[in-house]
A and B are shown apart, each in its own frame.
Chain A
Amino acid sequence: MVGVRSRNGWVIWLTLAFALLLSVAPMLEFMQVGRPLCVALILTYWVLALPHRVGLTTAWVLGLAQDVLLGTLLGQNALILTLITFLVLSLHQRLRMFPMWQQSMVLMVVFGLAQLVQLWLNALTGSRPPTLAFVLPALVSALLWPWICVILRGLHLRLNVN
């Protein structure tokens, strides 16, 4: 963008690729239901930290990649991730001032909304989870947020990503 050259931009892409990897990593059967939204979490961190570098376009492309990876309709996860990014960007000014636990709370609501849209889209394509368990990933992700945030901030400051 205007006059600012990106530094270590590859770190962002590497962490996002790692998030994609985590989203298909094998898990134990009983943990599957609560699989955290790794891609959304890591994306959210970068959107909050570097909103001029990571925005809706990144989210959309990443969502398409996730769609292909998971075999869902092309555009389904893209829509979800752009929605999350949109919400995070519009809450951006406030979210950055919040303490960690409050960020977690807000993100839980944001991810819950995203999961709700996901559920609706899944229902359109025919496979519908029978229970309320679909909000569990939002809860797990919110609980994981502080840790993800600390790890990524360490990486961010150490490598001076911009």
Chain B
Amino acid sequence: MAHKEQLIKPLFAKGPSLGIRMLVFAVLSAVLMVVDARFDALKPVRSMMGMVLTPLYELAEMPVRAWEGATQQISSRSELMAENEKLKAEALLLQRRLQKLATLTEQNVRLRELLNSAALVDEEVLVSELIGVDPNPYTHRILIDKGEKDCVDESKKNCVFLGQPVLDARGLMGQVVEVMPYTSRVLLLTDNTHSIPVQVNRNGLRAIAVGTGNPESLELRHVADTADIKEGDLLVSSGMGQRFPAGYPVATVKEVIHDSGQPFAIVRATPTAALNRSRYLLLVFSDRRSPEQRATDSAQAQEAADREAEQERTQGEQAPESSVAPAADTPAQEAN
């Protein structure tokens, strides 16, 4: 009997009433939400808690991994050989394109020099692996296995950062929206809160591609009915928002609907990246300087180059055996 009393007692222990406690927690939650949405104060707390909790994702993925591992173990030799052949053929094709790319890049740099614009920096990338998908089917977010502590260089300057663009082998996938120490969250292009500035590769027509919540479809907003855009056009990132580097493929136009009842044409496009299939992603480290900084840097570089040229010229004039007259210098440069 005494035992039973002991069990029942706590039920009637008086504290603050249930309603009041609920109210306190509700207010606390609301305050937390507002602070989390508007200020950065809670970011460290989040990232610390994230570090503790994200292993759960890996744990949850374990059965899937084990299954994949097992199927790989027993996949037949002929299958592997076929895959090997395919990969070799693919590598060959890519190598061919790379050969062409080298000359094109060089040409591009030379043309840019002629135009006095900032040099095209080759972007560095960090390979990361998908470790989890957001369980909410209405948001398109994924978790990857690289975070703040993962850097592309030894000096720890270029580490994963907020807003970093993410690619897969075929095109842009999205951007980093939350960085934790060893993992980060990526918002995909097709999430309905995401938009990306793009341009038509064929003619440079600019537009904004907005996610629709469907992993296979993007929509172009405010495209004039008379705009030159048609089915099959490749859309590349335009670099306008200064978040995504310019020139990466984003989507191909699937359909263009001209409806006279609508103020704008309805343009739907399919993302080129395999948004819900890719397992390995690339984090791109592009130039993070502000446009002003970039302009000053390139101006300084130009000045230095001018000074060097000036020096060379004066040296050339001083040298007695120099056969090039100053007057002939200009056309020679133009010919370059």
Contacts and interface: CB of A to CB of B under 8 A. Distances in A.
B25 A1 contact: no
Given A26-B133, A68-B49, A75-B30, A86 B37 contact: no
Interface string B30-44: 111101110000100
Contacts of A21: 56, 59-60
Interface stretch (B2-10, B160-168, B198-206): B2-10
A122 B11 CA distance: 36
Contacts of B22: 56, 82-83, 86
Interface residues on B, range: 35 or more
B141 interface: yes
Contact of A79 (B26, B45, B134): B26
A69 B36 CA distance: 15
Interface in A1-48: 1-4, 17, 20-27, 29, 32-33, 35
A60 B18 CA distance: 14
Interface in B7-66: 7, 9-11, 13, 18, 21-22, 25-26, 28-33, 35-37, 42, 45-46, 49-50, 53-54, 56-57, 59-61, 64
A101 B127 CA distance: 51
A88 to B, nearest CB: 11
Given A71-B134, A73-B33, A127-B139, A86 B59 contact: no
A75 B49 contact: no
B193 A52 contact: no
Question: What's the dominant secondary structure at chain A's contact region?
Answer: helix
B132 interface: yes
A70 interface: yes
A144 to B, nearest CB: 16
Nearest to B24: A56
Contact of B25 (A20, A33, A82): A82
B33 A74 contact: yes
B53 A69 contact: yes
Contacts of A99: none
A94 to B, nearest CB: 15
B136 A74 contact: no
A110 interface: no
Contacts of B29: 60, 63, 75-76, 78-79, 82
Contact of A2 (B10, B32, B64, B191): B10
Contacts of B193: 126-127
Contacts of B32: 64, 73-75, 78
A89 B18 contact: yes
Interface of A: 1-4, 17, 20-27, 29, 32-33, 35, 51-52, 56-57, 60, 63-65, 68-71, 73-76, 78-79, 82-83, 86, 89-90, 121-122, 125-130, 162
9 contacts: A2-B10, A24-B56, A52-B13, A68-B49, A69-B54, A73-B33, A78-B32, A86-B22, A90-B18
Given A75-B36, A79-B29, 4 more contacts: A52-B11, A64-B49, A73-B33, A86-B22
